[in-house]
Chains A and B, each alone.
Chain A
Amino acid sequence: MTDTSMTPTAAAPKKSSLLVQDARTRKRNAAETRFRMYGMAAIAVGLLFLVFLFASILRSGLPAFTQTVVEIEFTLTQEQFDTAESKMLKTGEYQKIFVNALTQQLDASGLEVAFDGKAIERIVGKPGGTIRSFFLENSDRIGTPVSFELAASSRVDGYLNGRITRDTLVDSRFLMATDLDLVDALQDAGIVKGAFNWNFITGTDSGVDNPGGAGLGASVIGSFFMMLVVLFLSLPIGVAASIYLEEFAPKNRWTDLIEVNISNLAAVPSIVFGILGLAVFIQFAGFPQSAPLVGGLVLTLMTLPTIIISTRASLAAVPPSIRDAALGVGASKMQSVFHHVLPLAMPGILTGTIIGLAQALGETAPLLLIGMVGFVAREYPDGFVSGFTDANSAMPAQIYTWASRADPGFYEKAWGGIIILLLFLITMNAIAVLLRRRFERRW
């Protein structure tokens, strides 16, 4: 009945309006919005972890930079000096003199806490040696008032940092509960206070029982010499190898083999390089153990693949039109590479090198195997050459050593070391970014 035949007057399909989104577009837009949300959520999670990481590092490590000091002024008479020098246990004498002086000062200040000499020793530690060295060097100050700022014992330091609380304290020969009252009183009196711990940055590692005196300075120097070796060896060798591989090597199976091996080297675990260094440089070639020179050589081997790979990428990124133009004007292959391609690839090469150096700075495993462990960093090297050959440690290894010691005082030193290491790394990466921006070229 219904005439279903198409009549000529049937309307053509209605044209859709651009102002109305159809269902497909809506779905697609919704999917894209969701995807953007996922992305932002992922970034937020990452940032959250980063914030958490930095917060915990700072919280644990900042206390390492403050040192509790005892400020005291006293006069050493010539008599006391002569008496002390004549005894056998000289530092012990100075200790006694110091404690007496302090006791007198405390009495004079009207302290209302009970104390005795032993308590004072537990609080202020044993600065006898320091006092003695000072007066030996500055004998003209004998008889005049001298003000000393002496480091308090690490336990007191811990108490003032919050590491040790009255609840967690276990009475020992290092610190007793009653001492804490004294410490509070001293703090109120202004004799005990916190000061910036320069020694942490400039000093050397200290013995196992002296966390307070531990310093990162020697390790920084050790790292510095190591980085010099890495820079001056890996940069020329890496760049030269890359230039050869990229520009001059014939494309045959040998070259392919070399390229594959270089990529593989980049993936070798760092501890393998440590074993290599131990076997070849120390045992076979007889280089001094724990020397930054050996550490530098090992890290050069590790950094070379990174530098070669990034240099090759930079060289390959130079457009072939530049090479053609140079050749067309009559430059030889070498001239075109050195006058044109290399300067244009330089930003990339520098960036790659700095990143490689930053990675090397943070390597720990190979250094442990060649002996650059923390406790070795006891003194500063004497001169420039001995900076390479004297036994020393590097920052990451030093941190590792501190973290593995029993004394909880070293724990915060380890975190403090991490803060310094991170500062170095951030600075180096910032320099890389800056250099890249400055030298970026348009072609």
Chain B
Amino acid sequence: MNDMRIVERKVDTNEVKIAAKDVQVYYGDNHAIKDVSVEIEDKTVTAFIGPSGCGKSTFLRCINRMNDTIDICRVTGDIMIDGEDIYDAKVDPVQLRAKVGMVFQKPNPFPKSIYDNVAYGPKIHGLAKNKADLDNIVENALRRGAIWDEVKDRLHAPGTGLSGGQQQRICIARAIATEPEVLLMDEPCSALDPIATAQVEELIDELRKSYSVVIVTHSMQQAARVSQKTAFFHLGHLVEYGETTTIFTNPVDPRTESYITGRIG
């Protein structure tokens, strides 16, 4: 009977893109992330779920070293992207962040024109040889961000003059303009209405064909809809990591079951 199972949900075994091993994160004396080891696959959407304060956003920000900007934050352990340790002394966080893009919870386009928003990243990383090249990059990014049709006539209007959902898609286009390999999304839909949320989720589904996407979300329904693999964090520990279907129909750890059925906070 097993061969009659529905095959669409079957995830191809992909290569490991991000490998974290025994990662600890300290905020001063507070041990925020404890012994987290996880292997995140390429061309897959991985969701991080868990109650507030469990460390999922903190761990996400370790992957592009955004925690470096916080003085009291200390990270130990290994995080390897494509086999290279990103906390190695030789690694420049600026270069890392061109390879690992990030989209934040509240849409934060620069107060510049839409064109300048998307062009900023490629410009500072020298990805465009001339103006025509840059125009191409901007157009591609906006197309892949599913927002080209809505803004192609007003590329020089300010980025802040759009609706929330459009702004978030501009931010996604901005993040993918630098041709990253990994896309980190920290609760990208929490400030959006249901229609905008659905548009962004559709976009994420498209994006997973090219990137490894890691999304932190408070909404379990969103994690269930959008991801292929899910990691459940609780009090700084990674409690369970597996296929999304399994986690939501028959999780192994009772803590996971309690969280997803709404039995504990």
Contacts and interface: CB of A to CB of B under 8 A. Distances in A.
A324 B120 contact: no
B17 to A, nearest CB: 18
Contact of A328 (B64, B111, B125): B64
A141 interface: no
Interface residues of A, number: 21
Interface in A312-342: 319, 321-322, 324-332, 335, 339-340
B230 to A, nearest CB: 24
B108 interface: yes
B108 A327 contact: no
B138 to A, nearest CB: 13
Contact of A442 (B104, B110, B160): B160
B92 to A, nearest CB: 9
B178 interface: yes
A221 interface: no
Nearest to B121: A329
Given A325-B104, A325-B171, A330 B94 contact: yes
B97 interface: yes
Contacts of A319: 108
A250 B110 CA distance: 26
B121 A325 contact: no
B101 interface: yes
B45 interface: no
A197 B110 CA distance: 54
Contacts of B110: 322, 325-326, 340
Interface in B111-137: 111, 120-121, 124-125
A443 interface: yes
A35 to B, nearest CB: 38
B101 A328 contact: yes
Contact of A330 (B104, B121, B171): B121
B175 interface: yes
A321 B174 CA distance: 15
Contact of A331 (B94, B102, B108): B94
A331 B106 CA distance: 19
A319 B110 CA distance: 11
A226 B160 CA distance: 42
Contacts of A331: 94, 120, 124
B104 A328 contact: yes
Contact of B71 (A250, A326, A339): A250
Interface residues of B, number: 26
B13 interface: no
B104 A327 contact: no
B2 interface: no
Interface string A240-266: 000000000011000000000000000
A438 interface: no
B212 to A, nearest CB: 16
A441 interface: yes
Contacts of A119: none
A329 B111 contact: no
Contacts of A321: 104, 106, 108
A344 interface: yes
Contacts of B261: none
Contacts of A329: 97-98, 101, 120-121, 124, 174-175, 178
B21 to A, nearest CB: 25
Interface string B68-99: 01010000000000000000000000110110
Q: Output the residue of A326, A327, A329 with the most chain B CB within 10 A.
A: A329
Contacts of B104: 321, 324-325, 328
Given A442-B160, A443-B111, A327 B97 contact: yes
Given A321-B108, A322-B108, A339-B120, A328 B102 contact: yes
Contact of A441 (B69, B111, B120): B111
B252 interface: no
Nearest to A328: B102
Contacts of B120: 326, 329, 331, 339
A163 B123 CA distance: 71
A251 B124 CA distance: 29
A325 B167 CA distance: 13
B175 to A, nearest CB: 7
Contacts of B171: 325
Interface string A79-90: 000000000000
A245 to B, nearest CB: 15
B66 interface: yes
Given A251-B71, A340-B110, A328 B66 contact: yes
Nearest to B72: A251
B173 to A, nearest CB: 11
A339 B121 CA distance: 12
Contacts of B174: 325, 329
Contacts of A322: 108, 110-111
A148 B214 CA distance: 89
Interface of B: 64, 66, 69, 71, 94-95, 97-98, 101-104, 106, 108-111, 120-121, 124-125, 160, 171, 174-175, 178
Given A324-B104, A325-B108, 8 more contacts: A324-B108, A325-B171, A327-B66, A329-B120, A330-B125, A331-B120, A339-B124, A442-B160
15 contacts: A251-B71, A325-B104, A325-B174, A327-B97, A328-B66, A328-B97, A328-B175, A329-B120, A329-B175, A329-B178, A330-B94, A331-B94, A339-B120, A340-B110, A442-B111
The 3 closest A-B pairs by CB, nearest first: A330-B98, A328-B102, A321-B108
